[in-house]
Chain A
Amino acid sequence: MVEDLHVYYGKIKALDSVSIRIGEGEAVAVVGRNGAGKSTLIKTVMGVVRASRGRIIFEEKDITNLPPWERAKLGLGYIPEGRRLFPYLTVEENLVLGGYSISTREELRERLEEVYNLFPRLRERRKQLARTLSGGEAQMLAIARALVAKPKLLLMDEPSQGLAPVVVDEIFKKISELKESGQAILLVEQNVKKALEIADKVYILETGRLVLEATPEEALRNPLVKKAYLGK
């Protein structure tokens, strides 16, 4: 849950009193144009950007002042915009980092097996450097990396960015499978159509302010949304 969040970059206000709520097992999408503050929102929830005002509550715990690595331990999983893999580490080393907070070797092994079963292509490429992956594979790895630690809430920043439409379909199929398995997701997307397909609830962010909170069905019927975001 995010409450009355304000974020500044220097003097520029990036988020202005944004409040959102994500229930257990719920998929929530925040959509909006470039520069609307979507990434800032997700980064503030993860803790890599600091909030100037407001609170972030995770499972009844106020995590607003915790460093990102503590938030990761509590169960936040982060899929950054543009994938941001560790390019000079292998696929498997990237995954091992995703499981950094797992303490026993056996558990880590098990978790790696599980994500390899989810993304068999990554198993084939486990010894390759991450920089050699194609765009789609890289996005798969970014998702898998966040899943190793079994996060309670998955934060996804623009998973469709820079990918060919068929690859976007493939990625969203995976995301929808994750959601079906009960994974709570906060998704930030420019691709409104895709985001509406999987979300239980959608927020629209415009220049740092929330302008709409709706179910996907309501959003699809909303004339403003149709015109501004779906090009109809």
Chain B
Amino acid sequence: MVSIETLVQHLVSGLTVGSIYAATALGLTLVYGLLKVLHIAHAGVYVIGGYAAYLAYISTGSILLAIAAAAIVPAIAGIILAKILYMPMLEKPRHIPLMLSIAAFLLIEELIANIFGHHPKGFHIEGIPTEPIDIGGITLRPSSLIVVPVTILATLALWLAYSKTKMGIASQALVQDMEVAQALGVNMPYIVYVNFAIGSILAGIAGLLYAVHYGSISPYMGDIVAYKALVVIVLGGFGSIVGALVGGLVLGVAEEVLTSYLGYILPREAYAFIVLILLLIIRPQGLFGRAE
């Protein structure tokens, strides 16, 4: 028999993992909307965020500096990737920047592995309790109370910025008609870089959230994110901010619930794709996508 307590527990832990998926998928969805390219190297930016926060934290012991590092370093990395990988390839068929992006992702992973070692590094932030806490019979990891709200707030802030500010409206215009937006005065490269910076900050913060939740970082922590963030933006609908959040959370919860009740008949990752395939059969444009 399924008890309410265990179900809620699975939900919370699914939402936590899903938040990390969502936070990384947000950047991906922004970039896809603008450049129509799958920015696989985004998962590398996420790893960079984790390591930047780790280095800042072990050398200063300041959580604020760790957060700043998880934001600033990825932002710079994202802008550099946009500048060298994508902007010169705007006119090329879309598989060319895609291949470059995959190459860049592998390069980032291996560079980090070579510099910092292949093994995971323990990364515990003092002040965040690691012992599970009990709330009305539901056992929670305290990190869930950080990871989930941070992601939801970040998405909300991003959505507001996107729909209310001049910069956001210009981004939407570029997504809808790049040529005309430029002809009306929108400085395209500038807006692209801003979007990359914002998306990369979110990926960096997601890298830090991963560390907060699992207590460690690894050069290969981006592997799973690399394709799961893709699943998330397909689920949520390409280019949709709310879709990335909901898609991430749905995927996290579905994986968690399916693995707990069906066990590992299939690997956890396979469930992600089953969810994806089922949804695409019912709603090919994704949860929040626009039917073309």
Interface residues of chain A, those whose CB is within 8 Å of chain B, are: 46-48, 67-69, 71-73, 78, 80, 84, 86-89, 93, 96-98, 100-101, 145-146, 149
When distances are taken between beta carbons in the complex, the residues of chain B under 8 Å from A101 are 185
Instruction: Assess whether B177 is interfacial by the CB under 8 Å rule.
Output: yes
Kindly list 18 other residue pairs between chains A and B, CB separation below 8 angstroms, not including A48-B183, A97-B169, A101-B185: A67-B182, A67-B187, A67-B188, A69-B186, A69-B187, A73-B185, A80-B180, A80-B183, A84-B177, A88-B172, A89-B173, A93-B169, A96-B169, A97-B185, A100-B166, A100-B170, A145-B184, A149-B184
Tell me the residues in window 157-172 of chain B with beta carbons closer than 8 Å to chain A beta carbons.
166, 169-170, 172
Main secondary structure of the interface of B (DSSP, over half): helix
Question: CA A98 – CA B170 in complex, angstroms?
Answer: 10
Q: Are A97 and B173 in contact (CB under 8 A)?
A: yes
Instruction: Assess whether B290 is interfacial by the CB under 8 Å rule.
Output: yes
Take A88-B172, A89-B169 as given contacts and tell me if A100 and B180 are in contact as well, using a CB distance cutoff of 8 Å. Answer: no
Q: Which of B169, B172, B173, B182 contacts A68 (CB 8 A)?
A: B182
Shortest CB-to-CB span from B87 to chain A, Å, is 13
Nearest 9 A/B pairs, CB to CB: A72-B185, A100-B185, A101-B185, A78-B183, A68-B182, A86-B176, A68-B183, A69-B187, A84-B180
Shortest CB-to-CB span from A149 to chain B, Å, is 7
Instruction: Assess whether B179 is interfacial by the CB under 8 Å rule.
Output: yes
User: How many chain B residues have a CB neighbour from A under 8 Å?
Assistant: 18
Shortest CB-to-CB span from B237 to chain A, Å, is 12
Q: Which of A69, A87, A93, A98 contacts B182 (CB 8 A)?
A: A69
When distances are taken between beta carbons in the complex, the residues of chain A under 8 Å from B180 are 78, 80, 84, 86
Take A84-B177, A88-B290 as given contacts and tell me if A100 and B172 are in contact as well, using a CB distance cutoff of 8 Å. Answer: no
Q: Which residue of A lies closest to B177 (CB)?
A: A84
Q: Are A48 and B181 in contact (CB under 8 A)?
A: no
Q: Which residue of B lies closest to A90 (CB)?
A: B169
Question: CA A86 – CA B186 in complex, angstroms?
Answer: 13
Q: Which residue of B lies closest to A49 (CB)?
A: B179
Shortest CB-to-CB span from B238 to chain A, Å, is 13
Shortest CB-to-CB span from B55 to chain A, Å, is 39
When distances are taken between beta carbons in the complex, the residues of chain B under 8 Å from A71 are 183
Q: Which residue of A lies closest to B189 (CB)?
A: A67
Q: Which residue of B lies closest to A83 (CB)?
A: B180
When distances are taken between beta carbons in the complex, the residues of chain A under 8 Å from B177 are 84, 86
- A selection of 10 A-B contacts at a CB cut-off of 8 Å is A68-B183, A69-B184, A71-B183, A72-B183, A78-B183, A86-B180, A88-B176, A96-B166, A97-B181, A145-B184
Take A96-B169, A97-B169, A100-B170 as given contacts and tell me if A89 and B176 are in contact as well, using a CB distance cutoff of 8 Å. Answer: yes
Question: CA A20 – CA B181 in complex, angstroms?
Answer: 26
Q: Which residue of B lies closest to A48 (CB)?
A: B179
Question: CA A69 – CA B169 in complex, angstroms?
Answer: 16
Take A73-B185, A98-B184, A100-B185 as given contacts and tell me if A86 and B173 are in contact as well, using a CB distance cutoff of 8 Å. Answer: yes
Q: Are A87 and B176 in contact (CB under 8 A)?
A: yes
Shortest CB-to-CB span from A173 to chain B, Å, is 25
Shortest CB-to-CB span from B289 to chain A, Å, is 12
Q: Which residue of A lies closest to B181 (CB)?
A: A97
Shortest CB-to-CB span from B241 to chain A, Å, is 13
When distances are taken between beta carbons in the complex, the residues of chain B under 8 Å from A100 are 166, 170, 184-186
When distances are taken between beta carbons in the complex, the residues of chain A under 8 Å from B166 are 96, 100
When distances are taken between beta carbons in the complex, the residues of chain A under 8 Å from B182 are 48, 67-69
Question: CA A89 – CA B181 in complex, angstroms?
Answer: 12
When distances are taken between beta carbons in the complex, the residues of chain B under 8 Å from A68 are 179, 182-183
Q: Are B183 and A89 in contact (CB under 8 A)?
A: no
Shortest CB-to-CB span from B143 to chain A, Å, is 37
Q: Which of B179, B184, B187 contacts A97 (CB 8 A)?
A: B184
Question: CA A73 – CA B181 in complex, angstroms?
Answer: 13
When distances are taken between beta carbons in the complex, the residues of chain B under 8 Å from A86 are 172-173, 176-177, 180-181
